[in-house]
Amino acid sequence: MSTLKRYSSLLCTAILIVLLVAACGSSTNNSPEAANASATANPAQTAESAQATAAQTAGTGETRSFTDAKDRQIEIPADPQRIVYIGSDPGDLLALDVKPAGASLSVIGTQVSYPDLLEGIEDIGYPPSLEKIVALNPDLILYNDWDESAIESVSAIAPTVVIGEGGTFERLRQIAHALGKQELAEQKITEYETKAAAVKDQLKLDLGSGDTATIYLQLGKTLYVMGHQGISVSLYDMLGFKPSPRVQEMIGKDERFAEISAEVLAEYAGDEVFVLGDETAETSAAVKELMDGPIWKTIPAVKNGHVYVTDSKWNFDDLITRTRLLEELPVLMAQQ
């Protein structure tokens, strides 16, 4: 994938792979300045700025005690006004009608299904730039990232709530609790479930107890199979498909994804096969090569015409993406 090529270090590549596959995003906005901002910041200046920011935000409103996903008890604003989000699912926050002042958009900003909702949000980079966060003068930071190394640093800037890696509804409820929007969260979840039930009825899927689905993700020349992450959450939890036996083994081991070769892809295939990819020429060529290959043609789902090809932007599981996916699914499933 073009994004992965832009990064010369193995560390950055590893970070991107995890984010791209787990939340399936990539970026066309990876300037060296943005990528290295936190590394080049003067520690003394950053600490001094953080202390100044904390002083500015202290006492501006009421606070309350809150226990986050790491069992850290902290004082947070009762009514936060300037929120910074660190993680790969800003849609969780946007689903609650909250637009953060800043978010980690470098990797995912151009790849999500809701670019129209990102206008006005400052990109703090990935890894997050402490200088950019300080400049935004946040009164609350929401931290939902697999890499926990920056928690201590950002906590020195503003009260920081760590969000757990649970499913869509669990994450949404955690954020809602931190923002005092529990009632709205339950309303949004109910609205989604109502729409989802209608779409499931519209699709008229005749699923037996053994009907399985597998999601392959092609990023450049690299092929992945997804576990219980991204679009598979909607396919398994909403539509009622089951993981294939090999994918179920992955899920049992808490593997969110696995890089595989074309030689073994048939071992993971379910009754329905979904292929996701971005619009880069490299990915498109790789998907064509995959589908023209001899192994692909041996898969029962391929022989039966149960293959669906769609954009990698659907490989997120925040409530915004899942809700918009409801409109896409009837079109996608009509590809048979």
Q: Report the CATH number at residue 237.
A: 3.40.50.1980
Tell me, what's the pLDDT at 182? 97
Whether residue 285 is contained in a domain is answered as yes
Tell me, what's the pLDDT at 109? 83
- Tell me how far apart the alpha carbons of residues 254 and 267 are, in angstroms, rounded to a whole number: 19
Range of the domain at 69: 28-180
List C-alpha distances in Å: 322 to 64, 313, 317.
Answer: 32, 11, 6
Q: Is the pLDDT of residue 7 over 50?
A: no
Least confident of 14-28, 60-74, 117-131, 251-265: 14-28
pTM: 0.81
Instruction: Provide mean pLDDT across the span 277-300.
Output: 95
pLDDT digit string, tens, across residues 235-262: 999 999 999 999 999 999 999 999 999 9
107 and 55 in one domain?
Answer: yes
Whether residue 188 is contained in a domain is answered as no
Q: Is the pLDDT of residue 319 over 60?
A: yes
Q: How confident is the model at residue 139 (pLDDT cuts 50, 70, 90)?
A: very high
Whether residue 54 is contained in a domain is answered as yes
10, containing H or E segment: helix 10-22
pLDDT digit string, tens, across residues 304-314: 999 999 999 99
Whether residue 8 is contained in a domain is answered as no
Whether residue 279 is contained in a domain is answered as yes
Q: How confident is the model at residue 178 (pLDDT cuts 50, 70, 90)?
A: very high
- Tell me how far apart the alpha carbons of residues 326 and 230 are, in angstroms, rounded to a whole number: 14
Q: Residue 126: CB partners within 8 Å, gap ≥ 6?
A: 15, 19, 35, 104, 106, 107
Using DSSP bridges, classify how beta strands 73-77 and 63-67 pair: parallel, antiparallel or unpaired. antiparallel
176 and 44 in one domain?
Answer: yes
Whether residue 235 is contained in a domain is answered as yes
Q: Which of 106 and 4 is assigned the larger pLDDT?
A: 106
- Tell me how far apart the alpha carbons of residues 48 and 266 are, in angstroms, rounded to a whole number: 56
* Cis amide linkage into residue 115, ω under 30° from 0: no
314 and 209 in one domain?
Answer: yes
Average pLDDT of the chain to the nearest whole number: 84
Tell me, what's the pLDDT at 147? 87
Of 148, 180, 212, the residue that ends a domain is 180
- Tell me how far apart the alpha carbons of residues 271 and 239 are, in angstroms, rounded to a whole number: 14
Instruction: Report CA dihedral (23, 24, 28, 31) to the nearest 10 degrees.
Output: 40
List C-alpha distances in Å: 80 to 101, 176, 234.
Answer: 11, 12, 31
Q: What percent of the chain has pLDDT over 90?
A: 73
Whether residue 59 is contained in a domain is answered as yes
Q: How confident is the model at residue 218 (pLDDT cuts 50, 70, 90)?
A: very high
Cross-strand partners of 277: 218, 311
Tell me, what's the pLDDT at 209? 67
141 and 106 in one domain?
Answer: yes
Q: Which long-range contacts (CB under 8 A, 24 or more apart) does 288-296 make?
A: 290/218, 290/223, 290/262, 290/265, 293/262, 295/262, 295/263, 295/265, 295/266, 296/262, 296/265, 296/266
Least confident of 8-12, 175-179, 203-207: 8-12
**Max CA separation in the chain (angstroms):** 67
Instruction: Provide mean pLDDT across the span 5-30.
Output: 39
Return the structure tokens found at 253: 């081991």
130 and 240 in one domain?
Answer: no
Burial class of residue 137 (count of CB atoms within 10 Å of its CB; 0-12, 13-18, 19+): middle
32 and 162 in one domain?
Answer: yes
282, containing H or E segment: helix 281-292
8 Å CB contact between 99 and 306: no
Tell me, what's the pLDDT at 31? 33
176 and 289 in one domain?
Answer: no
Tell me, what's the pLDDT at 107? 80
- Tell me how far apart the alpha carbons of residues 87 and 103 are, in angstroms, rounded to a whole number: 8
208 and 169 in one domain?
Answer: no
Q: Is the pLDDT of residue 40 over 70?
A: no
Tell me, what's the pLDDT at 285? 97
241 and 158 in one domain?
Answer: no
175 and 250 in one domain?
Answer: no
Instruction: Provide mean pLDDT across the span 133-148.
Output: 95
Q: Residue 148: CB partners within 8 Å, gap ≥ 6?
A: 162
- Tell me how far apart the alpha carbons of residues 96 and 106 are, in angstroms, rounded to a whole number: 22
Q: How confident is the model at residue 71 (pLDDT cuts 50, 70, 90)?
A: very high
Tell me, what's the pLDDT at 70? 95
Collapsing DSSP to helix, strand or coil, 307 comes out as strand
Instruction: Provide mean pLDDT across the span 38-65.
Output: 52
Return the structure tokens found at 326: 């409801």
Q: How confident is the model at residue 166 (pLDDT cuts 50, 70, 90)?
A: confident
136 and 55 in one domain?
Answer: yes
Instruction: Provide mean pLDDT across the span 153-157.
Output: 96
Q: How many domains does the chain have?
A: 2
Q: Is the pLDDT of residue 12 over 70?
A: no
Report which DSSP code applies to 39: H
* Sheet containing strand 160-162, strands side by side: 122-123, 102-103, 83-87, 140-144, 160-162
Segments in 204-238 forming alpha helices (H): 231-233
Whether residue 90 is contained in a domain is answered as yes
Q: Is the pLDDT of residue 110 over 90?
A: no
Instruction: Provide mean pLDDT across the span 55-72.
Output: 78
Q: How far apart are the first and last CA of the chain?
A: 28
Q: Is the pLDDT of residue 46 over 50?
A: no
Tell me, what's the pLDDT at 238? 93
Of 121, 146, 180, the residue that ends a domain is 180
250 and 143 in one domain?
Answer: no
